[in-house]
Structure 1
Amino acid sequence: MPVLTLDAAFSSAGQLAMSGWLLLIVAPRWRIGLTIAGIVVPVLLSIGYLVLIAVNWHDAQGGFSSLDDVASLFAARPLLLAGWVHYLAFDLLIGAWLLRSAQREGAPHAAMIPVLALTFLFGPAGYLLYQLIQACRRIASEDRIPRFLARLPAPFRVLEWEPRLTAAGIAMLLLAIPTALAYAADPRLFTGDNVWLKLLKFEISIAIYLLSFAVLLPLTSERFQRSRPGRFLVWPVIALLFFELVYIAWRASRGEASHYNRDSLAAIVLYAAMGVAAVLFTAASGLLAYGLARKDAVPLPPALRRALILGLALTCVLGILSGAVLSAAGAHTVGTPAPSAAVVPFFGWSLSAGDLRVAHFLALHAMQILPVFALVASALGRAAAPLAVDAFALVYGCATAAALVAALNARPLLGIG
C-alpha cells in the first residue's frame, strides 16, 4: 500500500480546511454545513495532527523554551506539517465559533465575510476585527450614545450623535492603536518616513471626518436624512472611507506606495478606485451643506449655521479641486526637495519645495475650522458674528487657494516657507 507523502498530506489538509471555510461563507445558515465546518473538519484535521505528532515526535530536535528551539523543532518537515495542520484546525474552529456567535448577536453575514476571510488568512487578526465590529454595533445601539452623553458636561449633552457614524469614527480611533504600535516597532522607511505614518495620519483624519458628520447630520431634518442624499451620508460614506483605509494599510504592510502607484495593472486600477472613493466622500460634505441649508433643518444661531454651510461647501469644492491637482501632479511635491531638508513634524510637509498637501489639508478641514471660528466670534460679539464668519470664510478660501498656487510654483507654505 503506498504511503501518503508529506506533500500529498499537506494538499489534502488544505483542501479539507478550504471546504469548511467555503461552507461558513457560502452557506452560513445551513445547520449541517455548520456541523461539518465547525466539528467534522476540525476533528479530521485534529486526527491527522495527532498521527503526525505520534509518528514523528520521538526524534524531534528543539522545543518551546526559546525562539531558536522552536525554529529547530519546525526545521523537521513532518513537524512543520503538523504545525500547519494545527493552524488549519484551530483557525477553522475559531471561524465557526465566530460565525455562530455573530448569528446569536444578529450581526449581518455581510459583515462576517471579511472577518472569516481575515481569520482564515491571519487568525487572530480576524478575531480582533470581529470584536471591533461587535463593539461598534453595541455603540450604535439606540441607547448607548444617549447614556454616554448623559454623563458628559452640559454643553456636550445638547448634541445628538448619529450612532452609525459615531461607531465608525470610534472604530477608526481604535484602529490607530495597533497602527501606532506598528509605527513604534517597525524600522522600515518609505521615501524617508516610517511605512506606517501615512496610515496613522489617515486614521486620525478619517476619524475626525466621521465624528464631524456624526454631530452634523442630526442637525438636518428627518426628511433629508431619509432622502437618497441623506442616506448616502451614512453607510456609503463609511464604506468608502474604510475601503481607502484598507488599501493604504495593505500597501503600508508591504512597504509600498499607496498613492501614485502604477507598478502594475492591479495597482493602477486600485489607485483609480481609491481616487473615485475620495471624490465621492469629499462630495458628501457638499450634500451635508445642502441638508443644513434647507429650511427644514434644525434651527441654529445664524453665525454657526453660516459657518457650517460655508465650511462644508469649502471642503467639498476645494477638497475635490486640490485632490484633483494632487492626482494630476503625480507627486506630493512640485520641485525637488533639498537633501535632508526640514519638514513640518508629523505632517511631513516639505519646507524646501512646493507641497500640494498643505492646500488639501486646509480644504478638507474647513468643515471643522470655520465652525470653531464662529463659536469664538459669537462669544466675542453676537451681532457681528455672521459678518465675521463671512469674512473669515473668504480669507480662508483665499489662503487655501494661495497655498495651492504657491505649491504649484514650487514654493513651500504659501510661499513663505
Structure 2
Amino acid sequence: MGVFALVSAGGILLDDRTLVGAPIWSKPFKFAVSFVAYSLSLAWMLSLLPRGRRTGWWAGTVVTATGVLEMVLITLQVVRGRQSHFNQETPFDSAVFQAMGITVVVLWLAALTIAVLLLRARILDRATAWAVRLSSLIALAGAAVGFLMAQPTPDQLSATDPPIVGAHSVGVPDGGPSLPVTGWATTGGDLRIAHFFGMHALQLLPLVLLVLAALAPRFPRLTDPLLRLRLVLTASAAYTAVFALLTWQALRGQPLLHPDATTLITAATIATLTTAATLLTLRGTPSAPSPTPPPTPRPSRLR
C-alpha cells in the first residue's frame, strides 16, 4: 500500500486528468493511505492473540490479498480513465465493479473473523482488550456503510440502463461542490464521512490508551486499571454515538458543515453525556493505593 500511495501521489502531480470533479489519482491515493493505517492496526491486534493465531494469520492474509486486489482494480480503471466504483457503462466496467464488490465482501468477512477472535481472546489488560474489541466492531460497522453506497439513487431507479448505479452522496449528484482533499460533498449528505470515521476507530480508540499511558507519569491515578477501563468504555460509547450521528446525517442528505437543529442538539447531547461520564469516572474511581512499606524490624536486646 505504501507503493500504491507513492505511485498515486506521483499521478496527482503529473497527471492533470480529473474524474467526477476530483484529480483522477486521488481515489487510489486515499485508499492506499487508509489501507496503510488499517493494516498496521490490524497486524498489531493480531499480535495480541494468545490463541487462534493460525486462524488469525489466515484471516490477515485474506485481508491483505483482497486489499491488494481492490487497489489493482481501482488503479486499472484510473489508467483507463474510467470510474471504478458504481460503473455499469460497459460489460468490462461492470465486471470490474462486481469483482471489487466480491473482494470487499470477502475482506469484510475476514475482518469479522479477526473481530470474533479478539472478542474471545483473554488479553490480560482489560482496557487494552476492550479498546481492541470495540474498535474492531466499530470498524466493521464503518466498512458496512460502503454497502449503502452501492444502492441505486431515486434518479437511477427511474432511468433505463443507467451507466452509474450507486453514489457516495445523498440528495445531490456525485462530483458537485466538495471539501478539499477529502472530496466530501458540501451541498448534500455524503456516506464516505461515516465510512471513514467508523473504519478508523481501529486507530483512534487504541490511541486513547497511548494518551492515558503518556499522561500516567504526571497523573498517577491513570495507572489504575479500573479507571483506564472505564475511560476506554466511555470513549468507545462516544465514538459509536458520533458514528451513528454521522451516518444518520448523511442519509438525510445533510452536509457535514451545515447541520440542522436536530443534528446540533444530538451532537450537544453526546458531548454533554460524554463529559459527564468522564468526570464521574474520574471522581468515582478510587485512586490506586500506594504500596505500604514493610515494617522496620526492631533490634533484639542482649540479655
TM interval, shorter chain, is 0.7 to 0.9
Corresponding residue pairs, total: 239
Query: How do 1:214-293 and structure 2 match up within 5 A?
Result: 214-221=43-50, 223-227=51-55, 230-293=56-119
Name the counterpart of 2:211: 376
Encode CA deviations 1:133-182: one digit per residue, 9 max, x unaligned: xxxxxxxxxxxxxxxxxxxxxxxxxxxxxxxxxxxxxxx11232222112
Q: Who is 2:236 aligned against?
A: 393
Give me the identity figure in percent.
31
CA distance in 2, matches of 1:211, 1:236: 15
Unaligned runs of 5+ in 2: 153-165, 217-221, 261-303
Task: Letter of the 1:412 partner, please give it.
Answer: P
Amino acid at match of 1:237: V
Residue of 191, 204, 211 corresponding to 2:20: 191
Q: In 2, are the aligned partners of 1:302 and 1:386 still within 8 Å (CA)?
A: yes
TM superposition score normalised by structure 1: 0.54
Q: Is the 8 A contact 1:351 1:412 kept in 2?
A: yes
Distance 1:351 1:344 in 2: 6
Residues 200-246 of structure 1 show CA distances to partners (whole Å, capped at 9, x for unaligned) of 1111111212222222211112x41223xx24323222110111000
Structure 1, gaps ≥5 residues long? 1-171
Distance in 1 separating the partners of 2:97 and 2:15: 25
2:137 corresponds to which of 303, 308, 313: 313
Instruction: Choose between structure 1 and 2: higher helix proportion.
Output: 1
Looking at structure 1, the residues matched to 74 and 175 of structure 2 have their Cα atoms a distance apart, in angstroms, of: 26
**Quick one: distance in 2 between partners of 1:301 and 1:177?**
38
Q: In 2, are the aligned partners of 1:403 and 1:414 still within 8 Å (CA)?
A: no
1:301 to 97, 101, 125: 125
CA 277–215 in structure 1, closer or farther in 2 if over 3 Å, else same? same
Change (3 A) 1:310 1:403: same
- Mapped to 1, the partners of 2:198 and 2:257 lie a distance apart of 14
The higher-RCO structure (CA 8 Å, 6+ apart) is 2
**Other structure's SS at 1:234 match:** helix
The answer for the alignment partner of 2:33 in structure 1 is 204
**Which structure has the greater CA radius of gyration?**
1
Does structure 2 retain, via aligned residues, the 8 Å contact 1:406–1:414? no
- Taking the aligned partners of 2:176 and 2:140, their CA distance within structure 1 comes to 35
1:325 and 2:148 matched: yes
**Cα shift at 1:351:** 1.7
TM-score of the two chains, using structure 2 as the length reference: 0.72
Q: Is the 8 A contact 1:374 1:389 kept in 2?
A: yes
Q: Residue deviations 1:26-72, cap 9 Å, x none?
A: xxxxxxxxxxxxxxxxxxxxxxxxxxxxxxxxxxxxxxxxxxxxxxx
Cα deviation, residue 184, structure 1? 0.3
Which 4+ stretches in 1 moved above 6 angstroms? 337-340
Deviation at 1:395, TM superposition (A): 1.7
Going from structure 1 to structure 2, the CA distance change for 1:336 and 1:292 (only over 3 Å counts) comes to closer
> Is the 2:142–2:196 Cα contact (8 Å) retained in structure 1?
no
